[in-house]
Amino acid sequence: MTHETRPADRTRGRRRSAVLGAALGGCALVAAGTAPAAAHPAGHGRDVAYVALGDSYTSGPGIPTQVDADCARSDHNYPSLVAARHRTTALTDVSCGGATTAEMWQAQGGNPPQLDALDRHTDLVTLQIGGNDVGFGTIIGTCARLAAQDPSGNPCERSYKASGYDQLALTVLRTAPKVDRVLRDIRARAPHARVVVVGYPDLLPDDGSGCFPQVPFARKDFPYLRDTEKRLNLMLRLVAGLNRAEYVDTYGPTVGHDMCKAPADRWIEPLQPASPAAPAHPNAQGEAAMAQAVLDRLDRGHGRR
């Protein structure tokens, strides 16, 4: 029997495609949609069931104490800090270093598919994903290698735009439907949960300045890479809104604490960390700052703003 697509389904599909396509426009687009579904209230005597999904920015590699060597997961990452603040929260943290959206459905070493941690009794979900889909690690390596060719110029930007279009912008665009699919599956598996998408913190100076050789990028590549991260966060915000999920901005609260700052002031470690953390990742203070941003969002209730 042939399935006929109804006009309403086609309209919703066109609207979803339009919002996803606008994710890289850099425009002041507000994703349309209804308010997020109310979280399923925990029953009397039952802890709030909180599931944390994500990559290494969630898991906290290198930060003491590491409780899962395979996934580089710390007991002082932001999900752990959020759960500690709300003592009636039962945390299931399946975040794993190196995770992409694919690992939401497939095992990663000994870590089962992350979405398998969800069920209809889940009350709260945080999701921080997309950085590895875009290729944070590869981008850092490429830009550091190219910097020697033109330390005062923008060799990395020129390389990524050599084909006549911005390859990183296209990669962010291609990641949008992947994150969209993750959020739709979260809704299917945990229909009563409050779903919160967590953005990425400020990695490089927000004013576009550089700090070679501490961070070995060419001087004019810093603003390009800053804008690429902002484009990723914009995409996450838009896709969250499309799926009636909430978005947590961790970029704004961490401005001024990027990897170019002095060790006492930075919350993101450079490629040679001075504090226990992975290169180009949040340290303990960075995880605490992201935890506070999530807590502030949770404390404000279910509004989208």
- Which positions are catalytic? 56, 281
- The alpha-carbon radius of gyration of the chain (Å, integer) is 19
Beta-carbon count within 10 A of 207 CB: 11
Could you give the C-alpha distances from 55 to 60, 131, 152, in angstroms and in order? Answer: 9, 8, 33
- Among candidate residues 144, 200, 174, 184, the one with its CA nearest the CA of residue 33: 184
* Residue 127 β-bridge partners: 53, 197
Q: Which two tokens stand for residue 128?
A: 């921080």
Beta-carbon count within 10 A of 265 CB: 11
Residues 6 or more apart in contact with residue 305 via CB below 8 angstroms: none
Residues 6 or more apart in contact with residue 233 via CB below 8 angstroms: 199, 200, 249, 251
